[in-house]
Amino acid sequence: MIILNRTGQAPLTFEGRLLAEHIGDPGGLSKRRHKDHRRFEVAVYQRTSGGYVLAVRYRSSYAAEAPHDWAMTCTTPADLVAALVGDVAYDPMGCVLGYPKGMPHYDQKQARLAEEVRRKFSAQVAEVLRQIPETHERVSCISPLPSAGAAGLPRSMSS
């Protein structure tokens, strides 16, 4: 039995197995060569009864940023992908406070932080999905390119 804590909700309990995970580097250095004080842990479980469970844990060494645990069930691989990269996907900035309001250049600093957090989280998501073949986009056949000058193709692509 697997029990996943969820901040502000009852724990999620199910039978299954861990399919894929990626744990952010807690002591890694960012491009600015300072310790990375924030990390996400992304995990996907396969339920014995069918379907998946997606879990995201957030940890920060900043006192103002509380730990956050989130988990949801997904019925299909497509649902799993949508929960990670779709229009209503998990937003990693939802639990990151960032810089104190009122500090000089707050908007620019907060925007850079959001970009960095989302970039790192996106890389983690890509790695987790890479570990689950059912989520891969597949191309079943490749059609030959239309003849030169075909409608809808730029000249550079049709020659």
Q: What is the pLDDT along the chain (159 residues), one digit of tens a residue?
A: 999 999 999 999 999 999 999 987 644 444 444 456 888 899 999 999 999 999 999 988 888 888 999 999 999 998 988 888 877 788 888 888 888 888 888 889 889 989 988 888 888 888 999 888 888 876 666 666 665 555 555 554 444
Residue 52 lies inside a defined structural domain of this protein: yes
Q: Domain count for the chain, please give it.
A: 1
Check: CB of residue 71 under 8 Å from CB of residue 65: no
Residue 94 lies inside a defined structural domain of this protein: yes
The pTM (predicted TM-score) of the whole model is 0.75
Residue 55 lies inside a defined structural domain of this protein: yes
Domain residues for the domain of 113 are: 2-138
As a whole number of angstroms, the distance between CA 33 and CA 36 comes to 9
Check: CB of residue 12 under 8 Å from CB of residue 6: yes
